[in-house]
Each structure stands twice: as structure tokens, then as C-alpha cells.
Amino acid sequence: MASKNTGKTVKGGEKGKTKQGSVEKSSDAGEKQSNTRHDVVVNEREKKKQTFIVRTIWTLIMVSSFLAILAAGQFWTIIGVLLLQIGVFRECINITTQRAKIEELRYTNELNWWFLITTIFYLDGRNLIKNYLTNFVVSDYTSVIAIKLVLHHKFICYIMYVIGFVGFVASLRKGSLKFQFAQLCVTHMTLLLIILQGHCIINNILHGMFWFVVPAGLVIINDIFAYLCGITFGKTQLISISPKKTVEGFVGAWICTTISSFALVYAFSSMNYFICPVSDNFYSNIFSHIECDPNSVFIPQVYRLPTFLIDILHKEYIQVKPVYFHSMVIATFASLIAPFGGFFASGLKRAFKIKDFGDTIPGHGGITDRMDCQFLMGSFSYLYYETFISSHYLTLGKILQTVIINLEPAEIILLIKSLMSYLFKSGIVDETTYTKVVNAF
């Protein structure tokens, strides 16, 4: 009996020890798991902290660069926009050409860049050459090559496009035809959405830096307030392809952006550097002395107040610049329509299963991730300006361009003699000066 009891006791003890051991093992495992979770949380916090620091630094770099380019003048601002267009085009094309690299399809990348150069030259080449030409005409120097490029601009562009078309057909390969034609369509769609709208932004700069700075600034401001209002009040999802976007953030940003537009107009509408269109001041900068007759929207007008406001303000009339009303329209577009450029980009990224378009800007992704709304905003600003604000008038630069491009040398000489004759008969030029100029030819 004793031996049996002892045996039972031993077995019971072994079971107790086993249970205790398993408890200790589970305790150790739980402790290790807890430590692992703690390490993950710490690492995640450090990662977020590092990302925030990098993102903040590069935000400051981008803002500083933007202000520096604005101060450098219209010429360098246009160059900056062209470089941004090229950067966005490169990022968008790169995500669709991976198969071309895998299958070693020759000239796919080269053809994309050729079509890009052709499109930029067609849309912006003429204006840039004409402004360049005017500068040298004033300096008593004429560029024959520039004149020829302007005269035959459309034909040159057509020949460039035909070369690209022939190159594409010659590069076709059996087994990859569907991909190659799809790639051609993607290239042309990218050129339409990016380069064409970028051309509108360049025209905005030529109309006056105001029409570039204010729309671009309102998009940036709207993006900031959409984030702030979203994390503060956001509850209702706005669109499925961008889960973090909320209706509350969308509407709140609209109100805040509209109010902010008044501040931007107040800051820039009184400075000639921003409101004067580009004519002979193509190479000026913020320190240059610029004079022009401002567009009427920048001149204060008298408006009669509605009856209910007269009783509140005890004033019947107010004096305000019409540009303030136009800025409300631009702010509304920047808040309600321009964000859909970002939603479009989000859908494109989801279609190709990528997080960002690139890693050009540390902490921010690619250039496209920052510029996706700006192109849509730029095209609207251009069309709005041309429709409701533009006042077409002749300038000395435009007249010189017309004369040089359209008249033969003999006709230019005849024009000079005719102008001198007019000035002499009007009493502006004396007979001696008139005779010297006429006899010089």
C-alpha cells in the first residue's frame, strides 16, 4: 500500500512540476511577446518621428525654393514650371513602362521623351522664342535663327511629330503589339493632362505673376486646411479611393480657403512685380522697377451695398478691387474641383498598386504626389482669365515681333521712313534729324 501511495505521490509531484514548468514557460513567452510588442511600438514611434522630421525639413526646402524662384523673376519661374512638368511626366511614364524593360522593347523610352520635347516645343516654344527675340531686338541685335524658328514653328513641330510616329511604327514587335499601342495611348494622355495644362500655367505667368502665385497658393492652403479640418471634425468618408478624405474636411477647407484668398489678394494685388504682364520685363526680378497700366480688376471700384447691409454698416457705398470677387471664384474651384486631380492620382496609384509616384522628394514621395492638383488649377485659372479678365492690348514688344516676323527687310525700311515722315509732319522730329534718317537708307 505504501509503495502504491508513494508511487502516486511521485506521479502527482511530477505532474505538479510539469504544470509549474508550463506556467513558467508560458510566463516567459508572454514576457517575450510583451517585450516584442513594446519594441515594435517604440520602433514605430521612432519611425514616425523620423518621417515627420524629414517631411518638415523638405517642406521648408520646397517653400524656400518656391519663394526664391518667384523672386528670381518670370523667366526662372517658367523654367521651374517646365522642369516640374518634365519630372511629373517621367514619374507617370516610369510606372507604365516596366514591361518594356522586361521584354527589352527598344526605343520605347526614347520615343516617350521625343514626344515630350515635341509637345513642349509646340506649346511653349513660340512664346519663349518671341520673348527672347524681343529682348535682343531692344538691344539692337536680331537672331536670325530665332526668327526662322518662329516663322516655321508649326511645320517644324509637325515634322518632329512625324519622326516620332514613324519611329513608333518601326519599333513595333510581334507579341507585344497590344502593350506598345497601349503605351502610346498612355503617353499621349499624359501629355494632354500634364504638358497641355502646364502650358496654361506658363501663360498665367506671362499674364502676370499674380495669376500664377494666387491659384497655386490657394491649392496649397486648401490642402493644409483639408487635413486640419479632417482630423478635427472628419467623420463622413468623401470618396472611396481616398479613405482619409472626409466631407467635413472638404467643406471646412472650402470655407477657410475662401477667407484666405482675401489675404493673398491683399498681399499681392498692390505690387507691380506681380500684377504687370510680361512684355519687355521678361528678365526682371523682384528688385526690378516695373511700371505698367494695371488691369482694371486691380483698380478699386465703387459698389452700392444691398439694403440689409446698409442698415448694419451705415454705409451706402464701398470701394473695393474687383479682383477680390474673382478670387472667391478661384478659391471655390481650388477647394471643390482641383482636389479631384488628387483623387485621380490616387486612383492611378491604386490601379498600379504603388504607394507613391516616386521618391524624388524625401518624406513626400514623388513630384506628382505634390503637383497632382496644380495642373487642373492652372488650366482653370488660364481659361477664367482669358474669359472674364483679359484686356487685349498692343505693346511695343508685340508690335516689334509682328514687324520682324512678318515683314521683309525692304518693307521694314519703308516702315521706318513712313514713321519718320509722320513724326516730322507732326513736329516731333526736326528737319535735320528727318533728313539724316531718310538718307541713311
- For 379-432, the pLDDT digits (tens) are 999 999 999 998 765 566 667 767 777 777 888 888 888 888 888 888 888 888
SS3 content of the chain, % helix, strand, coil (to 5): 75, 5, 20
- Under the banding of pLDDT at 50, 70 and 90, the label for residue 233 is confident
- Under the banding of pLDDT at 50, 70 and 90, the label for residue 28 is low
Q: Average pLDDT, whole number, for the chain?
A: 83
The pair phi, psi for residue 361, each rounded to 5°, is: -110, 105
- pLDDT, average across residues 298-327: 88
Residue 243 is predicted with a pLDDT of 81
- pLDDT, average across residues 153-169: 94
Residue 170 is predicted with a pLDDT of 92
**CA gyration radius, the chain:** 33
Report the distance separating Cα 367 and Cα 357, nearest Å. Answer: 8
- Under the banding of pLDDT at 50, 70 and 90, the label for residue 318 is confident
In terms of DSSP bridges, do strands 301-304 and 317-320 run parallel, antiparallel, or are they unpaired?
Answer: antiparallel
DSSP state of 297: G
Report the distance separating Cα 89 and Cα 102, nearest Å. Answer: 21
Residue 24 is predicted with a pLDDT of 53
User: Which cell numbers hold the place of 192?
Assistant: 494632354
- pLDDT, average across residues 373-381: 94
Residue 71 is predicted with a pLDDT of 92
Best CA proximity match to 339, nearest among 226, 191, 435, 433: 226
User: Which cell numbers hold the place of 6?
Assistant: 508513494
Instruction: Work out the number of other CB atoms within 10 angstroms of the CB of residue 290.
Output: 16
Residue 1 is predicted with a pLDDT of 43
Digit-coded pLDDT (tens) for 70-120: 999 888 999 999 999 999 999 888 887 777 777 778 788 899 999 999 999
DSSP state of 244: E
Residue 69 is predicted with a pLDDT of 92
Total-model pTM: 0.78
Q: How many residues does the chain have?
A: 441
Report the distance separating Cα 255 and Cα 122, nearest Å. Answer: 39
Residue 128 is predicted with a pLDDT of 78
Best CA proximity match to 130, nearest among 369, 356, 315, 405: 405
Report the distance separating Cα 166 and Cα 258, nearest Å. Answer: 50
Residue 430 is predicted with a pLDDT of 87
Beta carbons of 385 and 207 less than 8 angstroms apart: yes
pLDDT at 239 over 90: no
3-state secondary structure of 318: strand
Higher pLDDT, 253 or 353: 253
Residue 140 is predicted with a pLDDT of 44
What letters, b where the CB count within 10 A reaches 16 and e where it falls short, cover 201-216? bbbbbbbbbbbbbbbb
Report the distance separating Cα 390 and Cα 33, nearest Å. Answer: 68
